[in-house]
């Protein structure tokens, strides 16, 4: 998948540090990263071993955005840790990354994608909404991360 100068890159071991660095940037900007955040970001192979996928996008040689998809049940995947480098925000990278993740979820056989986000992440919420995600739950304090989140969901065409 290629568009607007962006291209999708599948996970490779040499890219693992980008999964950490891109995500820790936005996490520190909006929240205090938790031990659980760090565990996930430092162990991308756990996502892969669960049948998940890690997606990167680039606009040149280095990744500028990343996210992960984790199987939640036979028909659903969970989108987690989606971030774009600060210098690339507002330039369509988030939309391209999300569309790449949606296409990847379809290849995983998913009928829907769920994610958790926060009211603090207004730009992300707008990107999710523009792609068709709808809020499906009330705001709660996440038991593992200790921050307010709500769930959004997208039904996929099969």
With a cut of 60, say whether residue 128 has pLDDT above it: yes
pLDDT value, residue 98: 99
Query: Which domains can be identified in the chain, with CATH numbers?
Result: 2-155 (3.40.630.30)
Cβ(100)–Cβ(59) under 8 Å? no
Query: From CA 141, how far away is CA 106, in angstroms rounded?
Result: 30
Q: How confident is the model at residue 158 (pLDDT cuts 50, 70, 90)?
A: low
Q: What pLDDT score was predicted for residue 12?
A: 94
CA distance 78 to 50: 12
């Amino acid at each position: 998948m290629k568009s607007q100068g962006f291209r999708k890159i599948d996970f490779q071991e040499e890219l693992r540090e980008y999964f950490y660095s891109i995500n820790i940037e936005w996490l520190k900007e909006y929240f205090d990263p938790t031990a659980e955040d760090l565990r996930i970001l430092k162990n991308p192979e756990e996502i892969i071993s669960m049948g998940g996928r890690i997606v990167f996008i680039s606009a040149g040689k280095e990744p500028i955005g990343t996210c992960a998809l984790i199987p939640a049940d036979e028909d659903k995947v969970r989108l987690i840790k989606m971030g774009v480098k600060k210098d690339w925000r507002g330039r369509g990278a988030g939309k391209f990354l999300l569309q790449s993740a949606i296409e990847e979820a379809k290849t995983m056989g998913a009928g829907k994608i769920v994610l958790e986000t926060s009211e603090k992440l207004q730009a992300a919420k707008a990107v999710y909404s523009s792609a068709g995600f709808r809020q499906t739950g009330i705001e709660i304090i996440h038991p593992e991360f200790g921050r307010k989140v709500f769930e959004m969901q997208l039904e996929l065409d099969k």
